[in-house]
Amino acid sequence: MAVEKMLKFVTVGKSMPEKRSATERAHDFNEIYGEYVAAKAEEQASRCSQCGVPYCQSHCPLHNNIPDWLRLTATGRLQEAYEISQATNTFPEICGRICPQDRLCEGNCVIEQSGHGTVTIGSVEKYITDTAWEQGWVKPISPSQERPESVGIIGAGPGGLAAADMLRRAGLQVTVYDRYDRAGGLLTYGIPGFKLEKDVVMRRNQQLEAGGITFVMNCTVGDDISFAEIREKHDFVVIATGVYKTRDLAGPGSGAAGIVNAIDYLTASNRLSFGDSVPEFESGELNAEGKKVVVIGGGDTAMDCVRTAIRQGAESVKCLYRRDRANMPGSQREVQNAEEEGVEFVWLTAPKGFAGDPVTGVMVQQMRLGQPDASGRRSPEVVDGADYVEEADLVIKALGFEPEALPALWNTPELDVTRWGTVKADFRTHETNLPGVYAVGDIQRGASLVVWAIRDGREAAEDILSKLAASTGVAAE
Ligand SMILES: Cc1cc2nc3c(=O)[nH]c(=O)nc-3n(C[C@H](O)[C@H](O)[C@H](O)COP(=O)(O)OP(=O)(O)OC[C@H]3O[C@@H](n4cnc5c(N)ncnc54)[C@H](O)[C@@H]3O)c2cc1C
Ligand code: SF4
């Protein structure tokens, strides 16, 4: 159907509203965080025009069959809606909560495009799956046959767990190794609990364990067990280790006390929510209470840090970002949430150095946007003579993450990596240059999103199953 025709359909009877600003759109997306009662979910689901294109589905990395589960939800057929939703998504309750829907499914909803506010797809997905858990429709994995082949998965984040789930369903023997004490990767220790409740993640971990997946926790591959041993033990190996090397800041004073990494700060906060003892929090090092906090960076990790600092009772929270609002990488919805909570954004600013030890301030350079670079983004340039000091007694560096050097750490120089250090693998099958070894999620694609890690994990599992079917003649059920 022609796009114009479709737009006419959804706007029929109403005058075309003016194009709304990012802030106005962010208000609509805030509904995501509302508690969805059945009536609200049905009302939202019934707003879907069943347009027939459907852009929401093609812009969901998992190609979830959104129109179908919206139609079923609209008529109260929740169990069927859940069955369709979980057929393509291993963790729909998690994606429903934390996908940046404004950039994916909802941002491409034709009703949103026509200026009438998106169908809040993520919230409906969350609602359907939370209901499924409450009603006992989510069951432990129960393969119809056990198979002898085994798979070792390194990393219990969403990429590794999505692969584990599919492979175990097919009856394979699956062991997941992780250096942390709890499974979930960044779902557990990166993303704050106010965006993704920890019991939601733990419930999934328990379901996977109850389905026969073996978890070997507190096990760092490269230290506690070698990569070669893992390869020897298993028929297939999936590398799903994520990216954890923090991009750093240079400049005078950058080693001062009170300047911390975002991942350390967020991990401490998440550990506290589990009731763990966190000495760096007790000592005040990773506690924002009563402090003037400056967060450096403009991505979603920076947004998580500023919002965590507000919740810890910081005296003030400022976010320095070298470009302007329109050019920041983080979700506009997150910026909107942070602003509403009292965070001040200082656009077009970059740190030049730090005063004091412990830190007392950030030496700030003011920036302006110059000509677009090769990627089309306008590059920030320094405004001469406009430097100033921003007071701070806690500075959080949230400048992004890079992969650790796995071939060196694992004494496996034969494993191919890209020039960025990510593990090189086929983008469809996820197999690396080492036969039977796969790479998925952030360690393959660089820092990305949960929904992409899930897709990668599922694709790698599919490839393993098709290889097994070809070699044994027994297709997975
Ligand atoms: C603060 C923060 C907030 C984010 N918020 C969002 C969001 O709101 N929405 C969204 O979609 N995405 C978000 N992301 C991105 C998202 O979390 C990642 O893209 C996703 O978790 C990647 O999944 P993964 O399975 O590849 O890796 P991870 O989730 O990083 O899991 C990797 C696992 O491997 C383990 N591991 C690493 N090395 C070893 C080793 N040598 N031996 C054993 N185990 C090892 C780690 O302990 C970890 O458990 C956020 C990221 C951060 C940092
Ligand atoms: S998985 Fe993410 S992108 Fe896909 S429908 Fe759900 S919320 Fe939207």
Return the pLDDT at 162.
98
User: What average pLDDT score do residues 246-266 get?
Assistant: 94
Q: Is the pLDDT of residue 17 over 60?
A: no
pLDDT confidence tier of residue 460, bands split at 50, 70 and 90: very high
Return the pLDDT at 38.
77
Q: Which atom of ligand 1 is the closest one to the Cα of 443?
A: 26
Per-residue model confidence as pLDDT tens digits over 83-132: 999 999 999 999 999 998 988 999 999 888 888 888 999 999 999 999 99
Paired strand residues for 83: none
**How far, in Å, from the CA of 207 to the mean position of ligand 1?**
20
Q: Are 294 and 395 in contact (CB under 8 A)?
A: yes
Paired strand residues for 215: 176
- Report the percentage of the chain scoring pLDDT > 70: 91
The answer, yes or no, to whether any atom of ligand 2 lies below 6 A from the CB of 366, is: no
Q: Is the pLDDT of residue 150 over 80?
A: yes
Could you identify the residue written with the tokens 């097919």? 170
Return the pLDDT at 33.
41
Mutation to probe ligand 1, out of 99, 189, 191, 226 (largest number of atoms < 8 A from CB):
191
**What residue owns the CA closest to ligand 2's atom 8?**
105
Return the pLDDT at 24.
46
pLDDT confidence tier of residue 6, bands split at 50, 70 and 90: very low
Return the pLDDT at 5.
31
Q: Are 300 and 336 in contact (CB under 8 A)?
A: no
pLDDT confidence tier of residue 2, bands split at 50, 70 and 90: very low
Strand 236-239 relative to strand 437-439, pairing? parallel
**How far, in Å, from the CA of 287 to the mean position of ligand 2?**
33
Per-residue model confidence as pLDDT tens digits over 42-53: 888 989 889 888
Q: Is the pLDDT of residue 398 over 50?
A: yes
Return the pLDDT at 476.
62
**What residue owns the CA closest to ligand 2's atom 4?**
60
Spatial separation of the C-alpha atoms in residues 69 and 81, rounded to whole Å: 4
The answer, yes or no, to whether any atom of ligand 2 lies below 6 A from the CB of 104, is: yes
Chain mean pLDDT for the chain: 90
**Which tops the pLDDT comparison, 131 or 33?**
131
By three-state DSSP, how is residue 215 classified? strand
Return the pLDDT at 36.
55
pLDDT confidence tier of residue 12, bands split at 50, 70 and 90: very low
Q: Which atom of ligand 1 is the closest one to the Cα of 190?
A: 1
Return the pLDDT at 328.
83
Spatial separation of the C-alpha atoms in residues 382 and 385, rounded to whole Å: 9
